[in-house]
Every structure is written in structure tokens, then in C-alpha cells.
Structure 1
């Protein structure tokens, strides 16, 4: 996240590479018969390799920017991101996948259990460990340790596991574990801090790194060069200070549009000087400033005192550390002016502040003669077709909630909206009159600059270019098309070929996409059905089902997380709990199937395939039901209902989605191994299939299906592709299955 650009495409590329190499490590390296008679030795060796590779991988990723000769703060394109992830993640992820198979062999060797029980037991333990690790990292480690300190801690735990496996005597194990703990405290902690600072400083040559902190929302760095300080989050610039031009323009135009604003809601961006500028307006009686990340305010207090300290101390200012949208939804106050001072919809999280749903929420909390405003980067003279399409989409979404929309052109386009005519200033003369009467101390929002920005010809030209067309889509919570446009704009900065790719993707019709995916999957299913050996048909069918289950499981997780953000808000600890419950559900589902398998008689291939078909049908129904649930909650304002849904319903759904994935994996493993002469070398095959499906889902769903087609069609696509393995399982299950012994 620090090295790359944190939108859904870059995240999808990173996660896809991670899952791909882990899958190949499980499927291919898992076949290596090294130390077959001593699996504990192999497991200990892999644990030591993982301990060494984890911090080394982090450092390698950070060092990769220099290979592309990237300037400080320069964004890397999709191709460098993909190549970097492909190369730097191969060792750690492949060994991680191999460790799954080694752990299964070790479990089978030590417990005397069958291959299917061993694989499912290790899968259960991995899911439980992921749930625990996610909670500890999100809610504890990230609040007190940096990335490399956490990596060294995990490495110490890996070394402890290796020592426990290698040393036979209990006293030797105790001494080794104690030595590793002491080493981490006295060496890993301080050395991790120094290495973290040094590796991050190399990302910004020419700048002095004043401070770096991890919050639950990302990595924050305070940099200084030429007397100007900058705050970056995950490698992207948040603001510079002093930067009076940006600070002035972000608030004064909107406040001047109102004849006498008494209440202001400022969402984001206040720590860089915007809040300080807003307080110059004498009529303001109350300013509510909402900032998501409290660490930003801590750094502003320490490193940006001129812009922040005095403004924060003003009795009119009320600071809220919360998600801006959640605050707006649950607050009963009406505001004269609402300003969204956030970056463009570069991610699904940011896109929530540019949807017609959010604009309606803002309109409801706006006084009758109130003004709503935000800004987006554009171009002074020429708007490219991609940029024009993006701005048209935003304007059309804004017009869904506000009948009156005005703009001020420039490198940054300022948008203003009101609930009725006669609220917004008729021309720049009215703004100049208010500017003079309020005696604002400004350098850029001045009487000699406003007429230039608001020249009638310039305003008319911009509004003509961004006037929505009949085919312009509306950006909605459940159809986040604007962030797709913004990601397309980002990609075309690096190579014009990306424009052709994104334009081609945007022209894909949903029906054709479903038909193409269906044809490919049915073709693969037909090949599996025609395999000559019944055992091969059963094994391939189980693998096919589990691959689609992997795609579905990660898709359900993504849909749940994005739906939660759209309905409730971006509350990090809530999202961490949802992810942990999802992994807990996977562990429970696997345990449940293991318990059923122990108490029931041996499962025949035919019965197992029929049950897999039933689970695939359930997986097909699940995303559609999820969409219907989200739709039923659209527009909900009741605080009590929101709390119930967020604290009870969403966690329950995350748990159930995990149970479905864990139970199906365990059942597929049972079908794969039961009564079949499958060698131990194949222990990692199903796990690899599961991860390959998840790899495809991570890349396609969040980066393509959701933004382009929306939640409903994404859910329908997932449902459609799940019907193919269900039909295959029934098809093979009803065929002649000879004994496989």
C-alpha cells in the first residue's frame, strides 16, 4: 500500500499474485517428497524459511520502486505493480502454500489420521489462525508497532514453531522459545524501528522523513523539503503546508455562496489549513469537522501547529473522529454549508462520498437555503474524453439529489448544489460583494482572481462539456461506476493502451459476459465428464466445485465488506471483526464437517457429489439474497436499526458465509480422498484449486464486475457461474461410478 497506489485494481493485482503463488506452492511444491519419512523436519525447515522471507519480502517490495526509476510520490502503473508483485511475492507465498501440504503430512504422520482428515484439520487451524491474526494485527499490533516490527514478531513465532518441532527435550524447547522472545524484545523491536524508518525514507529521496506512524487506516508519513511539510497516507499525498491556495479554495468559494453561513460541516482535509481558513467567516457560529483517522489529528497537532492548533482551540469547532458518512447519517442537525474535502473516488471507500445515495443524505441534512460543495481535479483548458465522462457521471449523480448545480472551472473544478433556485450566487459580483463585507484575509480567493475563474464563457464551456447525456450512468452505492471511471483515468496516465483496454471493457455487455463465462465453464465441465476413469471424474469434479467455491467465498466477503461500508460506514474495527468472523466461520464449517464425517458412515462418491451440488446451489443463491438484503436497507436512517444491523445481522452473515466455504472445502476433500488411491503428493491439490478460484474472484469482482455492473449483476454473475459446477456434480454423480479402490 505504501509503495503502490491503493485502489481496487492495484489491491486486486497484489492479492491475485499472492493467491496465485500460494496455490502453485501448494499444488506443485506439495508434490516434492523431501523428508517424506520425517515430516517434522520438513515442517520446521519451512517455518524457518517463512521466518526469513517475511521481512525480506517487505523490504524487497519497498526497494522495487528504484527499479522503475520512480520519482518521489510518483504513481506506478498497473504493469509495474503486477511485475513487482509477481517477482517479490513468489518465494514467501510459494513456501507458504508448500507449508500447508507439509503441515497436512505432519498431522497425518503424528496422529495416524487419513489424508482427508489431515487436510481438513490443517485447513481448520489455518482459518482459525487467520481469524486470530487478523484481530491481533488490526486491533492491537497496528496501533503500537510498525510493519517490520510486526514482521519480526511473526518471524519469531515461526522460529519458535521450528524450535518446538526440531528439539525433542522440553527444556531445550523452553530455552529456545525464551531466547527468541528475549531476542525479539531487545533486537527485533529497536532494529525493526530503525529499518522501517530507513526503508521508508528511501521511498522519498530529497525529503526529510520527520515521522512515520501506522494507524488502522494506513501508514502515515510526515515529510519536509524546502520549508514545506507534507503528510502522506499509504504513499499518497494528503496535503502540503503551508499551501494557502489549496486551503483557501477548498472552503471559501462554498462559504461565499451562502449569504450568511452559521453552521458548517467539513468532512476531511481540515488539518492542512482548510479549517483555519473557514473560521475567518464572521457569521459562523458552529463548525463540525469530521476526520476518519485520529492519527492524522495527532500528527497535525505536532507537525502542523500553525494550520491546526489555533483552529482546533476555537470554541466554535467541534471535532468528530468518525466516518463522515456515518456522522451525517446519524446526526440530526441541519447545516447551512456542507463541504466534502476528500480525494476523488479513487477507491470504493472514497466513492461512497460521490454517489447519488450520499448526495440525498447530504440534501436531507442541509438547511432549506443551504449549500453543498465538493471539488475534483480536472484541467484548465482541455478535458479528455475520459475525464469528461467521469465528470458527467458525477454531475448526473449530483442532479439526482439537487435540482440546482453550479460549477467553477479550473485545474480543480468546484461543484455547488442547492435544493432550490435562488440560493446560489447569480454571478461573481455577488461573491465579490460578500468577500469584501467579510474582510477575509486571503491571497488567492481575491477580487482580482474570482472574475477570471468565473468568466461566463469559461463556465458555460465547462458546463456544456460535463452536461450529462441520456446514456450517462448514475453513480450509486450498489453501482459504484464513478470509481471505475477514476481508475481508468489513473491507468491512462501511464500508457494510452490502457485507455483502449478500459474502453473495451466498458463496452462489454453483461449478457455476453455471462454467456462467455458459461460457455468456458460448460466446456470444461464437458471435458471432466468425458474423462475415461470414474475416479478421475470424481477428483476433477471436486476440484472444479472447490475452485468456484473459492471464487464465491471471497466474492461474498467483498460484497459484505462493501455493503457494510455503504450502509453503515467505514469503521475499521467493525470491518476487522467482520473479516475475523468470516475466517472463524470457515474454521467452524470445516470442524462441523469433520465431526459429521467421524460420526457418520463412509461417504460414497455419488452421495458426496450430490451434496456438493446442493452446496453450489446454496452458493449461487447467497449473493442474490445478499443484494436483496442491501436493497432493503437503502435509505434507512434509524440509529437503532443501523446499530442492530451492523452489530448483529452483518456479523451473522459474515459467519455464515465463512461456514459455507469451510464446510464445502471439507466435504470436497472428503469426496476427493474417500476410497480413492490418491497419493499424499496430492494433498495440496484442492487447497490450490480453492486459492486459484479466490485469485480470480479477487481480481475480477472488485476491479471489474462491481464498478462496471453493480452489486445486482455481480451477484447474478456469481450465481450463474456456480450453477455450472452444481450441474457437473449432478451429472457425474448420476453416471456410472465404479468402485475406486
Structure 2
């Protein structure tokens, strides 16, 4: 077999792994509604199963005689696993009778992602260790592991770039997985045809000896090869058959209809920002984005409350800004107030284009009114940049802050930005999930956190209780009132005709006893903290609240996690470090593997910090995930290549490893300063450079450090741990286990509870502990 064919196969492994990772991540985000908790759960599940495949299966690689045949079989299995997993993810809700729009509990999220990702990840992890063992038969073991790690990283890099710049724009998910299946099958087929059976080494040319050695075949090798070729060719024909005509499109429609069983599905679309679906029930149309209900139309009571409650608290609403849904009835109601200009911000153009087909004619006319200016721009960026006439009314019509992207519209920083663009008697209005009769401790914390944050900026706040708690905030109390007679009078004087919001309906919503009850409950809440962009505590309170809807066990877990603080983490890290240091004569061999574990932990945690910060600053990450992953892999390729070239000449291996740990510490400490500076930028050019250059560069740096460490640690551990399959398997597994734990803790715990600065401080302290342990073993001689 030609060496180039196996190199190509290893690159295909990495390529498929990353495309599969990003694709399945996007699919699962749609199922789990795209918050950072789901990202952490998915990443951790992915890393865990790859670690299982790498270590527990990979360590058995040396026992197989026909290693190359086993590698070919793994590629065939991979070509089957990826399409089947996409189908399983799409069908899991209807199979388990969980309707679209229903929020999924943490337990279901964890168990489903954990089980669905297992087959593909186990195969990928096994392929790495098996590839190392095959490659080591023609190279020195340390070089072989580093070379396979490099080739895998090159494939990862190419896969991330291909997905971020090609697949996401031009191919559906089903088309992508079919092309991935074809690529793996072609790679397996070329490996099969590249094998030249030989029973001895006599007669080989020097060129032959540069090939990857092929294990001596047994008597059944020929028949086995024929069977594999038949299987591969059959699968290739089947996949090509699916790509012809409209078969894949029809399959996709059938799957979507099954996903939405019980609903009358009338239309769907996929944009850069998510998956959109329109359903119909009677005369009502509902728009779902990534499975979450955005609006139902025509439901006038919702639109009337959204608009007229805050508009009646403003003397003359002339300039209006609405962020979020307005096409479902809000624009029509706003224009009744004889406004001069309405800025309607909707990031995704596909939302409006799809909605226009199904909203009533009156709403379509409102959308086309010359006073309405539609802007396809992130709401935060618009507010930061806006320098024209101040707004009399700002309405935020968005879901609860259950993601970093949404939390940024309920933070102290955002409220300060709104204060700058709002008139003296203007109002800001929004609503969140609540209850008018009883507030549980979880709901109280959730509501109180946002209420207290809002009061810091806007001293005068009206509360309108209900299933949704409506906030109406202003800098001046002059025009604010709870008096229903005054509000009814304003409605009549403006000549506004409404179906629901009138003198008979207002008293039921502005019920003074309920208002006083909710106000007193929120004011008395001592546990609730202020909500910030980079310390999104309301996001965590929201997760805790919604966990109570599903199981008491999830509620208890979140409650216990909320007790964790920076001081406790520092004490725990210090005790573990002191314990390992005290017994270093027995534990010093574990320090290098431990550095791989902590680097895996910090690397993925910092990557999630980058994704989280990108969400906070720029508001969308759905189509950027591939680019972020690709950037990390670019760094991995660069770092691994540099270390592989210097590996044999490097003498002070442990000291060099300690230096890399130090660089990771400095990086973690600098990240908060970078993002705090970026949050102040409003210049379009600087923002473009940050998105297109700085974020990828920051991700590349993480990859470079990780790429430099792995081959170096492998060289050290090969002298201490033994065989290549064992060493490669255990180090790769530790890297992934660290990443598994880091992704889960950083998304669920560190970022919402500790905030950006303290999260990065924890990561710096973690690697500081490893640095100290590595420096303490410098005097130990390697066996």
C-alpha cells in the first residue's frame, strides 16, 4: 500500500470528525434550543466517547494482525454512523412524543446527546489510536504519534474550513452527511486497492520499504478483501442514488413532517441563523425558530399588550425602536399611535420573508409602511452605534434570557446603552416568564435579578404581573401611572381602536394587590444578583427555574452548583496540588499526563469562552461554529508541525512543557482584557476585523499551544509508560477527558456563576498548579 493513501485516509478521518462534530452540534442545538448549556453537554459527550474509543478500544489495536483491514472497516462504519445519527437526532422528539416548542429538561438533554453521539465518536477515537499503531511500524514511535496527530489535525482544519465556508452555505445537512459517507467509502476503497499482499520482505525495493507495512495476510485475506470491496461499492451506489433527482429532498420533507407530527406543517426554511418552520392550526399560523415558538398570528391580545401598555406611558411616542418580533401584529398596533418613525430590528431576513407569506394583509401593509424601517442588524450593535434622534419608546420582544445571546438584552450594560438613546420621558419595555399569584424561590431569583439590574439604570419601573411579567422603565416618573382611568383616557384621546386593551380590560391587568405583591417579593429577594454581559447570572437563574419544570433531581443539582464560588475552587485546587507535591516521589510520572488533562480542560474551556463572548458581543454563532473549530485546528496543525520538527533535537522536554503551560496561563489572564476592550468598540471596521481576524486568531493561539504540547508529552511518556498504542491512547484519552469536563463545567458553571474574569482566573490557576508540579520533577531522570 502506498504511504500517500494512508496519509490521505488519516486526513479524511480528521475531516469527517470535524464536519460531523459541527453538523451534529447544529442539529442538537436545534433540538435543545441552542443555549450554552446544550453546547457544553454536546461537547463533553463528544469528547467522552472519543476518549473511550481511543483508550479502551485503541489499546487493543496491537492485538489485531490485520490492522489495516480493521481501519478500512472503521471507515465503512463511519460512513454509516454519521447519516444514521443525523436521522436519529431529528427523529428523537417524535419517537419519544415530545412535541416541538416544548422545552427539554437537563436530564433528557444529557442522556440523549450522550447516547446519540456514542457510535460516531467511539469509531473516531479508535481510528486515531489504530492509525498511530499502523504508522509506528514505519517510523519512530514518538514521531509516529506526532505525525498522526498532525495529519488528523490537518483533516480537522480542512473540515472546519469546508463547513464554515462551503457546506453551511450551499448544502443541506442531509447532503453534507451523504458527501461525507462517499468520501470515507472512497478512502476505504483506495486503501483496499492500494494493498499489495506480500508474504516476505525479499525482493522489496527501497521505495517499497517507505510504504506503510501491510501485515501478512491470512488464507482468507483475498475473500475478505472481495467482500469489503462489494460492501463499499454497494454503499457508494446507494449514496449516489440518493443524490440523484429529488430523492434527498423528498426524504428531508418526510423527516420534517414526522418531526412535526400533530402539526400542520405549511412551510420551512434554513438560514445562517437557524431552522425556521411555519405551522397552521385553524386560522392561526405559528413561526418556530430552532424549535422555539417565536409568534402566533393573528393573536391580537398579545400584540395589543406588547405595544399599548408601554406606549400609553409615553406622552407622544414619535420615535420607536422594536427589537425582536414585530411582523406578527406589533407593527400594525404601533402605527395606530401616529408615530413618525419605527425602527424594526430583525437579524435574520429569512424570518420576515417567510412570515410575510402567512401574516394577515394588515400586517403586511404595516411592514411596507414608509414610516417603518426594517434593519437586518444585531440589536446590540444598532443601539451602540445609534446617534440620531432619541427614542420615545423602546420595546424588546425577545424570549427569556436562556442563552448568552439573549441574556445580553437584559444586562446592566445593555440598559445603560438604551439609556443613552432614550428621551427623558421615554420608556423601555420588555417581559419575562413569571407568575402573578405565587413566586417560587427559583422564579423570584430569576425575576428579581433582572428587576434589580434594571433599577440600577432606570430608577422608575412599573411592573404588570401575569404569566409574563411586563417591565416599563423610565428615567422620569412624570408620565408613568398605574391608573386605569388615566390610561383609558389617553387611549381615547389618541383615537386608537383596539379589540382587547380598553377601559374594561385594563383593571384586570393593572390589579394593584398583585402589583404590590410581586413588587414586594422582588424587592425582598436578597440572593438575586445583578446581571452583566460577561457574568450572565440571570441566564443561570433561568436554567434553574426551567429545571424545576422537569425533575427534582435536576433542580437539586443546579441548587448545589449555585453554592460553588471562586474561593472554594481555589482552596480545592491548592489542596490537590499540595497533595501531589507531597507525594511526588510516587506520583511524579503522572505530572506529564496531568498536564495534557489540564491543557485539554483549559483549551476547550477557553474555546467555549470565545464562543460565549462572540455571542455576547455580536449576537450570533450558529454559522460561525465551523470557522471557530477550523481556527482551533489551524493552530493545532501549526503547533504540532513545529514540535514534530524540533522533537528529536529537544533536550529539556519537561522544562519546555512547563513553558507551554506558562503561555496558557498568560493567555487566560489576558482574554478578559481583550473582550472588555472589544465590548466598547462601535466602529464597523474594527468590528469586522474582530469577527473575521481577531476571533479566529485567538482560537488559533489556543490550538498552537495544544498542538505543541501533545507530541512533546508523548515523547516523555513513551519512555515512562511503554508501547505506542498504550501511550497514544492514554494521552489522547486524557486530552479528551479534560476537554469533556472543561466543556461541561465552563458552560454550566463557570461562565454564568463566576463570570468571564473569574472563569479565566480559574483556568490560569489550574495550569499554574500543573506548572508547579512539572517544575518540581525536573530533577527526575527518565528511565
TM-score (normalizing by structure 1): 0.91
Q: Could you tell me how far 1:669 is from its partner in structure 2?
A: 2.2
CA contact (8 A) 1:271 1:307 kept: no
Correspondence for 2:640: 590
Q: Structure 1 stretches of 5 or more lacking a match? A: 532-536
CA contact (8 A) 1:620 1:723 kept: yes
Q: Could you tell me how far 1:76 is from its partner in structure 2?
A: 2.6
CA contact (8 A) 1:147 1:196 kept: no
Q: Does 1:657 align with 2:694?
A: no
- Give 3-state SS (helix, strand or coil) of 2:194's partner: coil
Change (3 A) 1:139 1:269: farther
- Give 3-state SS (helix, strand or coil) of 1:81's partner: helix
Q: What is the distance in 2 between the residues matched to 1:321 and 1:160?
A: 42
- Give 3-state SS (helix, strand or coil) of 2:277's partner: strand
- Give 3-state SS (helix, strand or coil) of 2:261's partner: coil
Change (3 A) 1:187 1:645: closer
Q: Could you tell me how far 1:489 is from its partner in structure 2?
A: 0.7
Q: What is the distance in 1 between the residues matched to 2:129 and 2:166?
A: 30
CA contact (8 A) 2:604 2:743 kept: yes
Q: What is the distance in 2 between the residues matched to 1:16 and 1:695?
A: 4
Q: What is the distance in 2 between the residues matched to 1:673 and 1:285?
A: 74
CA contact (8 A) 1:300 1:308 kept: no
Correspondence for 1:534: none
Q: Could you tell me how far 1:675 is from its partner in structure 2?
A: 8.6
Correspondence for 2:251: 195
Task: Select between 58-67 and 22-31 the one with higher mean Cα deviation.
Answer: 58-67
Per-residue CA deviation, residues 68-105 of structure 1 (Å, 9 max, x unaligned), is: 44344333322222222232222111011111122333
Q: Does 1:42 align with 2:70?
A: yes
Correspondence for 1:294: 349
Q: Could you tell me how far 1:180 is from its partner in structure 2?
A: 8.2
Q: Could you tell me how far 1:5 is from its partner in structure 2?
A: 4.1
Per-residue CA deviation, residues 487-510 of structure 1 (Å, 9 max, x unaligned), is: 001111112333333222222332
Correspondence for 1:86: 114
- Give 3-state SS (helix, strand or coil) of 1:261's partner: coil
Note the 1:167-206 alignment, pairs <5 A: 167-168=193-194, 184=239, 186-188=241-243, 190-206=246-262
Correspondence for 1:381: 437
Q: Does 1:23 align with 2:73?
A: no
Q: Could you tell me how far 1:564 is from its partner in structure 2?
A: 3.1
- Give 3-state SS (helix, strand or coil) of 1:715's partner: helix
Change (3 A) 1:122 1:504: same
Q: Does 1:612 align with 2:662?
A: no
Change (3 A) 1:453 1:160: same
Q: Does 1:134 align with 2:160?
A: yes
Per-residue CA deviation, residues 537-558 of structure 1 (Å, 9 max, x unaligned), is: 54x3322111100111111112
- Give 3-state SS (helix, strand or coil) of 1:367's partner: strand
Q: Does 1:4 align with 2:4?
A: no
Change (3 A) 1:158 1:311: farther
The one of 183, 194, 211 aligned to 1:157? 183
Change (3 A) 1:519 1:255: same
CA contact (8 A) 1:265 1:337 kept: yes
Note the 1:696-707 alignment, pairs <5 A: 696-707=741-752
Q: Could you tell me how far 1:321 is from its partner in structure 2?
A: 1.4
Q: Does 1:105 align with 2:133?
A: yes
Note the 1:479-558 alignment, pairs <5 A: 479-520=535-576, 522-523=578-579, 529-531=585-587, 537-538=588-589, 540-558=590-608
CA contact (8 A) 2:721 2:727 kept: no
Q: Could you tell me how far 1:351 is from its partner in structure 2?
A: 0.7
CA contact (8 A) 2:71 2:127 kept: yes
The one of 131, 147, 167 aligned to 1:121? 147
Q: Could you tell me how far 1:361 is from its partner in structure 2?
A: 0.8
User: What is the total number of aligned residue pairs between the two structures?
Assistant: 723
CA contact (8 A) 1:521 1:721 kept: no
Note the 1:321-400 alignment, pairs <5 A: 321-333=376-388, 334-400=390-456
Per-residue CA deviation, residues 447-471 of structure 1 (Å, 9 max, x unaligned), is: 2111221122222222112226555
Correspondence for 2:458: 402
Q: What is the distance in 2 between the residues matched to 1:471 and 1:64?
A: 38
Q: Could you tell me how far 1:596 is from its partner in structure 2?
A: 2.3
Change (3 A) 1:558 1:412: same
Change (3 A) 1:288 1:17: same
Q: What is the distance in 2 between the residues matched to 1:528 and 1:303?
A: 70
Q: What is the distance in 1 between the residues matched to 2:274 and 2:617?
A: 22
Correspondence for 1:560: 610
Change (3 A) 1:497 1:447: same
Correspondence for 1:686: 731
Correspondence for 2:372: 317
- Give 3-state SS (helix, strand or coil) of 1:653's partner: helix
Q: Could you tell me how far 1:375 is from its partner in structure 2?
A: 0.9
Task: Select between 715-724 and 648-657 the one with higher mean Cα deviation.
Answer: 648-657
TM-score (normalizing by structure 2): 0.86
Change (3 A) 1:662 1:508: same
Correspondence for 2:11: none
Q: What is the distance in 2 between the residues matched to 1:191 and 1:480?
A: 45
The one of 300, 305, 310 aligned to 1:254? 310
CA contact (8 A) 2:378 2:618 kept: no
Correspondence for 1:419: 475
Q: Structure 2 stretches of 5 or more lacking a match? A: 1-28, 197-225
Q: What is the distance in 1 between the residues matched to 2:517 and 2:64?
A: 74
Say what the alpha-carbon RMSD is for the aligned residues. 2.9
- Give 3-state SS (helix, strand or coil) of 1:353's partner: coil
- Give 3-state SS (helix, strand or coil) of 1:684's partner: helix
Change (3 A) 1:126 1:302: farther
Correspondence for 1:467: 523
CA contact (8 A) 1:525 1:725 kept: no
Change (3 A) 1:515 1:20: same
CA contact (8 A) 1:24 1:97 kept: yes
Q: What is the distance in 2 between the residues matched to 1:153 and 1:381?
A: 55
Change (3 A) 1:666 1:246: farther
The one of 513, 524, 532 aligned to 1:457? 513
Per-residue CA deviation, residues 537-595 of structure 1 (Å, 9 max, x unaligned), is: 54x33221111001111111122222233334436666654443222112211112122
Q: What is the distance in 2 between the residues matched to 1:240 and 1:85?
A: 30
Q: What is the distance in 2 between the residues matched to 1:436 and 1:126?
A: 70
- Give 3-state SS (helix, strand or coil) of 1:33's partner: helix
Q: What is the distance in 2 between the residues matched to 1:181 and 1:287?
A: 55
CA contact (8 A) 1:34 1:42 kept: no
Task: Select between 625-634 and 44-53 the one with higher mean Cα deviation.
Answer: 625-634
Q: What is the distance in 2 between the residues matched to 1:117 and 1:433?
A: 82
